[in-house]
Amino acid sequence: MELVTQALAANRYALARLISLVEDDGTQARAALAALYPHTGQAHVVGVTGAPGTGKSTLVNELAKSLRARGTTVGVVAVDPSSPFTGGALLGDRLRMRDLAGDPGVFIRSMASRGSLGGLARTTNDVVKVLDAAGFAVVLVETIGAGQAEVDIARTAHTTIVVEAPGLGDEVQALKAGLMEIADVLVVNKADRPGAAQTARALEMVMGRNAPAGEAGEPAWRPPILQTVALDGTGVAEVLQAVGAHREHLRASGLWARREQARVETELLNVLREELLGRLLARVDREQIQGWVERIAAREVDAYTAVRSIFLDADERG
Amino acid sequence: MELVTQALAANRYALARLISLVEDDGTQARAALAALYPHTGQAHVVGVTGAPGTGKSTLVNELAKSLRARGTTVGVVAVDPSSPFTGGALLGDRLRMRDLAGDPGVFIRSMASRGSLGGLARTTNDVVKVLDAAGFAVVLVETIGAGQAEVDIARTAHTTIVVEAPGLGDEVQALKAGLMEIADVLVVNKADRPGAAQTARALEMVMGRNAPAGEAGEPAWRPPILQTVALDGTGVAEVLQAVGAHREHLRASGLWARREQARVETELLNVLREELLGRLLARVDREQIQGWVERIAAREVDAYTAVRSIFLDADERG
């Protein structure tokens, strides 16, 4: 496919078109993804997640700039609907983003639309694959850090940065949102504000209490707790250093391969699920489904019993 | 089933056990849900959603208290991991919740655990059914209002309250999180804080611009914008009044039945998807799946192609 060849060469127009194709998820998209797939597996996928108001979009922007300054190519996938990358931004944010505009070593894609349940994770996963195959060395995936689908997306990254900020009301937001367990690097952003040191101490206490045991013979990774002021770039170099160190840890410990396998297994089961539904719906007629919907809505039968009946019918028809 | 009979009589111990059963999702749970199902469809399911820091948990608490004062029975399902109902609370929140403890007309259940993608929506839906069948007249479902699964849950409620608060940083959070389109009632909580009037005006402007057209011959519902101070109960009665008015609107316009059908259709497709995957996994052996995972991780094949091969194998075996 011409489009795939061009996307593999990181042609921006081809990339944009291919990603739109992947988002629409047709037969063409699947063929393209199959062709791209052998070229994937090189990028370091870094999730950046945190509550609204932590300034994680600004941090993502600074991380991208810093990586570019070192000559590293960067893809950005913004899943957070409040991110400036997805259009929910104030004017100031948009102006900051201009730093990255026009640089061929950066590609930014927003995933603003809400599809069906579970669709967001699949699409994000596929868009990351496109950028990976196109040769972007680091792919930053920004998620809102609240919400099951979003946390599941962060979980599939090689390295997950959880962003916190002082003064967001109730203590440590990441703790409350259940993000601590997926954090590989913890960042207290807006560290020039009052309360930053306390927020960092609160994180240390929590992490200290839950110190990882380290699996048989492996050195355990202790998530570092770093402070940044993303607005002026303070501390961003240290975050990148920690991200690099985590990558080395993953490689040396064999965790990289294990995380990859876990991600692949989840993806395989999701594709199986969607494919099965598609195949069944192709065999069962739409009116029959509508008939079941009406009977369930009327409380004549429940959904589980209806599904058993639909299977019996479909099995009989072969 | 004895447990179902007792749960239908709103026996608290039976309800708690049945809900745990439903969360584990075994054969017994499905049988129980099938037995309960004819008794559902009576409760008014009210979603309460909003960004962290809006005080929606306190509002849920006050709504429950107010409903109880009128003799209405209330179930509460808290999906927000930062909710005091799910254990993420500060001491003050827990003390407030005591107001509801020991009242047999209230049943509170938290859904703190994160399951697989999509699992949260299914389980929440089933827990709501249990409370509906047990005769709770109103079921309040509290979600964090960020995140795809959580917004999808809110969308399945009959009436959705979107909670906003002044001073959360960037303007109207609900707008950024894409919640405005699902709001039936808008609440500016913490209305005693500076900026409450501006937040309300910002919401009016947005809603005014997007005034619903009203489907053929139907009076359109214009989401009211109300102000509350949930901490001392100010404005809570007005919110309940709006919720009641919305229920009447749904009934009179036929929207109640249409929302019910949409919810049922989503549920039916979700159950089909899970059932299909279960049936296929029962036929395909685990080692074969593991073999595919390894080949996909090694980039020898992509997940979509693997799924097609798995189907061919399964079809041959019958």
Model pLDDT for residues A14-55, shown as the tens digit of each residue:
998 999 888 877 778 888 988 999 999 899 999 998 877 788
Q: Which long-range contacts (CB under 8 A, 24 or more apart) does A284-290 make?
A: A284/A310, A284/A313, A284/A314, A288/A313, A289/B265, A289/B268
Of the two residues A91 and A110, the one the predictor is more confident about is A110
Instruction: Please tell me the distance in Å from A287's CA to the nearest CA on chain B.
Output: 12
Same domain, A202 and A118: yes
Residue B213 is assigned to a structural domain of this protein? yes
Which of B90, B149, B308 is opposite residue A117, by nearest beta carbon?
B149
Instruction: Give me chain B's average pLDDT, please.
Output: 81
Residue B191 is assigned to a structural domain of this protein? yes
Residue A166 and residue A199 in contact, taking contact as beta carbons nearer than 8 Å: yes
Which of B148, B276, B300 is opposite residue A276, by nearest beta carbon?
B276
Inter-chain CB proximity A301 and B51 less than 8 Å: no
Domain containing B226 — which CATH number?
3.40.50.300
Q: Given pLDDT bands bounded at 50, 70 and 90, which one contains residue B246? A: very high
**Whose CA is closest to A264, among B308, B118, B291?**
B291
Q: Which of residues 39-58 of B touch A (CB under 8 A)?
A: 40-41, 51-53
Is the confidence at residue A93, as pLDDT, over 70?
no
Which chain A residues are closer than 8 Å to B300 by Cβ?
A: 38
Is the confidence at residue A98, as pLDDT, over 50?
yes
Same domain, A85 and A234: yes
Residues B70-83, mean pLDDT to the nearest whole number = 80
Question: What pLDDT, on a 0 to 100 scale, did the predictor assign at position A72?
Answer: 96
Instruction: Give me chain A's average pLDDT, please.
Output: 81
Residue B300 and residue A267 in contact, taking contact as beta carbons nearer than 8 Å: no
Residues B277-297, mean pLDDT to the nearest whole number = 83
Question: What pLDDT, on a 0 to 100 scale, did the predictor assign at position B96?
Answer: 47
Is the confidence at residue A277, as pLDDT, over 70?
yes
Same domain, B66 and B189: yes
Same domain, B219 and B232: yes
Inter-chain CB proximity B147 and A152 less than 8 Å: no
What domain range includes position B8?
Answer: 1-39
Of the two residues A294 and A170, the one the predictor is more confident about is A294
Q: Given pLDDT bands bounded at 50, 70 and 90, which one contains residue B225? A: very high
Same domain, A51 and A164: yes
DSSP label at A86?
G
Distances (CA, A) of B295 to A40, A137, A260, B290, B312: 13, 23, 12, 9, 17
Inter-chain CB proximity A176 and B299 less than 8 Å: no
CA dihedral for A35, A39, A41, A43, sign (positive or negative)? negative
Which of A146, A264, A277 is opposite residue B269, by nearest beta carbon?
A277
Same domain, B229 and B305: no
Same domain, A143 and A195: yes
Joined tokens for residue B210 = 């997007």
Residue B109 and residue B119 in contact, taking contact as beta carbons nearer than 8 Å: no
Whole-prediction pTM: 0.69
**Helix B303-317, helix B255-283: angle, nearest 10:** 70
Q: Given pLDDT bands bounded at 50, 70 and 90, which one contains residue B198? A: confident
Question: What pLDDT, on a 0 to 100 scale, did the predictor assign at position B175?
Answer: 60
Does the model's ipTM exceed the 0.90 cut? no
Same domain, B184 and B278: no
Residue A263 is assigned to a structural domain of this protein? no
Residue B242 is assigned to a structural domain of this protein? yes
Residue A260 is assigned to a structural domain of this protein? no
Least confident of B44-58, B114-128, B159-173: B114-128
Which of B37, B257, B302 is opposite residue A302, by nearest beta carbon?
B37
Least confident of A293-302, B93-102, B288-297: B93-102
Question: What pLDDT, on a 0 to 100 scale, did the predictor assign at position A252?
Answer: 92
Least confident of A28-32, A132-136, A269-273: A269-273
A310 and chain B in contact, CB less than 8 A: yes
Is the confidence at residue B216, as pLDDT, over 60?
no
Question: What pLDDT, on a 0 to 100 scale, did the predictor assign at position A140?
Answer: 94
Question: What pLDDT, on a 0 to 100 scale, did the predictor assign at position A94?
Answer: 45
Q: Given pLDDT bands bounded at 50, 70 and 90, which one contains residue B95? A: very low
Which chain A residues are closer than 8 Å to B307 by Cβ?
A: 268, 271-272, 275
Same domain, B202 and B294: no
Which chain A residues are closer than 8 Å to B147 by Cβ?
A: 144, 146-151
Question: What pLDDT, on a 0 to 100 scale, did the predictor assign at position A185?
Answer: 94
Is the confidence at residue A12, as pLDDT, over 80?
yes
Is the confidence at residue B132, as pLDDT, over 90?
yes
Q: What percentage of chain A exceeds 70 in pLDDT? A: 80
Same domain, B153 and B293: no
Residue B258 is assigned to a structural domain of this protein? no
Our count of domains for chain A comes to 3
Is the confidence at residue B224, as pLDDT, over 90?
yes
Instruction: Please tell me the distance in Å from B190's CA to the nearest CA on chain A.
Output: 13
A13 and chain B in contact, CB less than 8 A: no
Same domain, B29 and B56: no
B293 and chain A in contact, CB less than 8 A: yes
Question: Cα B221–B226–B227 angle (5° rounding)?
Answer: 170
Question: What pLDDT, on a 0 to 100 scale, did the predictor assign at position A236?
Answer: 97
Question: What pLDDT, on a 0 to 100 scale, did the predictor assign at position A115?
Answer: 45
For the ranges A181-195, B176-190, B262-276, the maximum mean pLDDT occurs at A181-195
Residue B260 is assigned to a structural domain of this protein? no
Of the two residues B246 and B203, the one the predictor is more confident about is B246
Inter-chain CB proximity A299 and B37 less than 8 Å: yes
Q: Given pLDDT bands bounded at 50, 70 and 90, which one contains residue A209? A: low
Of the two residues A67 and A307, the one the predictor is more confident about is A67
Instruction: Please tell me the distance in Å from A272's CA to the nearest CA on chain B.
Output: 6
B296 and chain A in contact, CB less than 8 A: yes
Give the 3-state secondary structure of A124-181. HHHHHHHHHHCCCCEEEEEECCCCHHHHHHHHCCCEEEEEECCCCCCCCHHHHCCCHH
Last residue within a domain, chosen from A205, A227, A253: A253
Distances (CA, A) of B193 to A51, B68, B90, B165, B197: 22, 28, 21, 9, 9
The number of C-beta contacts closer than 8 angstroms across A and B is 197
Residue B133 and residue B39 in contact, taking contact as beta carbons nearer than 8 Å: yes
B34 and chain A in contact, CB less than 8 A: yes
Residue B259 is assigned to a structural domain of this protein? no
Least confident of A83-92, A276-285, B136-145, B290-299: A83-92
For the ranges A279-283, B245-249, B281-285, the maximum mean pLDDT occurs at B245-249
**Helix A286-297, helix B255-283: angle, nearest 10:** 120
A113 and chain B in contact, CB less than 8 A: no
Question: What pLDDT, on a 0 to 100 scale, did the predictor assign at position B29?
Answer: 85
Q: Given pLDDT bands bounded at 50, 70 and 90, which one contains residue B102? A: confident
Q: What percentage of chain B exceeds 70 in pLDDT? A: 79
Q: Given pLDDT bands bounded at 50, 70 and 90, which one contains residue B55? A: confident
Is the confidence at residue A284, as pLDDT, over 70?
yes
Same domain, B209 and B69: yes
B247 and chain A in contact, CB less than 8 A: no
What is the per-residue pLDDT across A144-165, written as a single tens digit (0 to 9) for each?
766 666 667 777 789 999 998 8
Question: What pLDDT, on a 0 to 100 scale, did the predictor assign at position A298?
Answer: 87
